């Protein structure tokens, strides 16, 4: 699926853009990479061209134009705009997309949408995460050197007059996104709806913060997954959305996690504990905006009603499924440097695993790949629902345990409170308070806890304990269901993964056997 994003820059060194596009960079530290002799390392397999530069390189052409129109002279001005069109990694093998074709499309897109600007168009064959996605960089000087035809989204003369500066407005971005979608449709490439927002809006800053954080986590605690603060917030909101049926339930669940949800002018925002300024739903992504949240809550209500009427139907798997062998990726083992003996053992292991997999699928009536995918999706939903229910109960237990602890602590100071209230003079109270300092500190902490959470009047200890017992019983009752659903999901996941690996290896073998054109 093609994506489109924009970055503005105040860097007056226009040559930095060309250097970034043509030489290898450490994407996390944003530093150019050098060889053992200290020389810059050129990127591999890229295409590069400039437009409207009049025979000069991009940097010289931009500086000449800026001097001519006396623009981009101040430090705080935006000097250039960087647009990136990223194509789906599958567009290459599925639709024949090449670096040359993408470069041609990028140049035409630049001529159609950034006419009158000096520009660089550069296409890379792969992303920094090595996903194999071809992508086009378009860097333009923010200054327009020629008049351009007026388009419907342009609302000021500054948008088409020479000597004025490019404005990346919401209307302009919507126009560019629609043009990308039309281009992909015209060329028969994969595409998503770019105009209605993404489920999770990950900015460049957040993306790189996560990459750097994951790098530190891998070095300090291998195997852990790093999450940004925004990532944690999204997860908490999704957990609440998964089980709430009304907005009141949704807000209450978030409040227990220390998050306040607010509505202003028909839009949601979220205020995590420790922040002064709320985070808008728009910043988090489409899935967290009001319409999407309310739709999910309504869906939960309907789904839970249907669940009461009809249990989730997951195919019964034979006992052999509990000890399924996983098929190993021989290609990856070979790339990892495994020896001939190990690869021979892996081949025998895979034959056994595939035989076992086919036996289980045959007994369960899942030989049809479509049925297997449906069974996997059903088991995944059932496991996620059960997991979310357990987490919700555990969160409620933790909150009730904390309340019970404060109630018992407050009850233990009752004698001190009574004796203090019985004293007649202020001097006697002061002496008594100094003698029981620790009791009064605990008392104040308990009162603050009750006040902040609105416990007026205080609940009875026996009532809270009874609720805790009920929650523990509910958790124990649901835990058996959770373990069963988890086991079913893992078994179907292994079956599905085994089949997919075999099909993937089969496709690779076919590709190797296919004769090359001379």
DSSP calls for 105-132:
HHHHHHHHHSTTEEEEEEEESS-TT---
H or E element, residue 49: strand 46-51
pLDDT of residue 517: 47
Quote the CA–CA distance of 219 and 64 in Å, as a whole number: 48
Is-contact 297 245, C-beta < 8 A?
A: yes
Q: How far is CA 69 from CA 72, 73, 113, 154, 425, in A?
A: 9, 10, 22, 22, 83
pTM of the predicted structure, to 2 decimals: 0.51
User: Nearest 5°: phi and psi at 80?
Assistant: -150, 160
pLDDT of residue 10: 93
pLDDT of residue 139: 96
- Give 230-239 contacts, CB < 8 A, sequence gap 24+: 230/206, 230/279, 230/283, 230/284, 231/206, 233/259, 233/270, 233/272, 233/279, 233/284, 234/200, 234/284, 234/285, 234/288, 237/270, 237/284, 237/288, 238/287, 239/388, 239/391, 239/392
Secondary structure of 241-261 in the HEC alphabet? HHHCCCHHHHHHHHHHCCEEE
Strand-pair partners of 501 = none
pLDDT of residue 197: 59
pLDDT tens readout for residues 299-327? 877 765 555 444 555 556 655 555 566 67
Residue (of 246, 252, 109) closest to 181 by Cα position: 109
Residue (of 3, 24, 45) closest to 197 by Cα position: 3
pLDDT of residue 72: 93
How open is the CA angle 458-460-464, to the nearest 5 degrees?
105
pLDDT of residue 114: 94
Quote the CA–CA distance of 421 and 433 in Å, as a whole number: 11
Peptide bond into 457 cis (omega under 30): yes
pLDDT tens readout for residues 224-263? 778 888 988 998 998 888 888 888 888 888 888 889 998 8
Quote the CA–CA distance of 83 and 46 in Å, as a whole number: 17
* Ranges of the chain whose pLDDT falls below 70: 1, 27-30, 128-131, 193, 195-199, 204, 208, 303-326, 329-330, 350, 353, 355-369, 501-518
pLDDT of residue 118: 96
Question: Max Cα separation, the chain?
Answer: 107
How many CB atoms lie under 10 A from the CB of residue 300?
Answer: 20
Question: Half-sphere exposure of 409 toward its Cβ, with a 13 Å CA cutoff?
Answer: 19
Residue (of 452, 450, 365) closest to 413 by Cα position: 450
């Amino acid at each position: 699926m093609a994506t489109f994003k924009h970055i503005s820059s105040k860097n007056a060194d226009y040559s930095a853009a060309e250097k970034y596009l043509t030489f290898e960079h450490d994407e996390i530290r944003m530093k150019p990479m050098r060889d053992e002799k200290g020389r810059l390392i050129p990127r591999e397999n890229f295409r590069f061209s400039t437009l409207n530069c009049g025979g000069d390189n991009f940097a010289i052409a931009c500086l000449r134009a800026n001097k001519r129109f006396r623009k981009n002279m101040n430090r705080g001005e935006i000097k250039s705009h960087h647009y990136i069109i990223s194509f789906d990694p599958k567009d290459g093998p599925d639709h024949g997309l090449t670096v040359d074709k993408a470069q041609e499309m990028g140049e035409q897109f630049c001529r159609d949408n950034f006419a009158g600007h000096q520009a660089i168009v550069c296409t890379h064959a792969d992303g920094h995460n090595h996903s194999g996605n071809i992508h086009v960089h378009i860097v333009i000087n923010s200054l327009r050197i020629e008049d351009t035809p007026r388009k419907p989204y342009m609302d000021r003369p500054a948008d088409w007059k020479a000597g004025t500066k490019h404005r990346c407005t919401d209307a302009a971005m919507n126009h560019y996104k629609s043009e990308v979608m039309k281009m992909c449709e015209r060329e028969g490439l994969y595409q998503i709806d770019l105009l209605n927002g993404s489920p999770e809006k990950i900015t460049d800053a957040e993306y790189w913060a996560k990459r750097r954080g994951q790098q530190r986590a891998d070095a300090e605690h291998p195997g852990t997954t790093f999450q940004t603060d925004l990532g944690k917030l999204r997860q908490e909101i999704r957990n609440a959305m998964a089980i709430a049926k009304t907005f009141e339930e949704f807000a209450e669940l978030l409040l227990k996690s220390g998050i306040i949800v607010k509505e202003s002018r028909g839009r949601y925002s979220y205020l995590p504990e420790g922040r002064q300024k709320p985070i808008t739903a728009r910043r988090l992504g489409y899935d967290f905006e009001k319409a999407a949240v309310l739709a999910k809550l309504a869906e939960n209500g309907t789904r839970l009603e249907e669940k009461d009427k009809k249990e989730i139907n997951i195919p019964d798997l034979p006992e052999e499924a509990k000890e399924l062998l996983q098929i190993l990726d021989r290609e990856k083992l070979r790339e990892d440097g495994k020896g001939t003996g190990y690869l021979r053992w892996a081949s025998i292991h895979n034959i056994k695993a595939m035989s076992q997999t086919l036996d289980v699928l045959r007994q369960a009536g899942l030989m049809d790949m479509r049925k297997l995918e449906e069974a996997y999706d059903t088991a995944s939903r059932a496991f996620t629902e059960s997991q979310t229910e357990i987490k919700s109960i555990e969160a409620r237990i933790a909150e009730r345990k904390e309340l019970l602890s404060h109630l018992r602590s407050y009850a233990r100071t009752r004698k001190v409170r009574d004796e203090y209230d019985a004293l007649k003079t202020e001097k006697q109270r002061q002496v008594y308070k100094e003698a029981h300092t620790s009791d009064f500190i605990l008392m104040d902490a308990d009162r603050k806890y009750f006040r902040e959470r609105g416990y007026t009047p205080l609940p009875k200890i026996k009532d809270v304990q009874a609720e805790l017992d009920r929650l523990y019983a509910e958790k124990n009752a649901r835990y058996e269901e959770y373990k069963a659903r988890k086991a079913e999901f893992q078994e179907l996941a292994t079956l599905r993964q085994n089949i997919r690996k075999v099909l993937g290896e089969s496709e690779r073998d076919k590709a190797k056997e296919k004769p090359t054109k001379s």
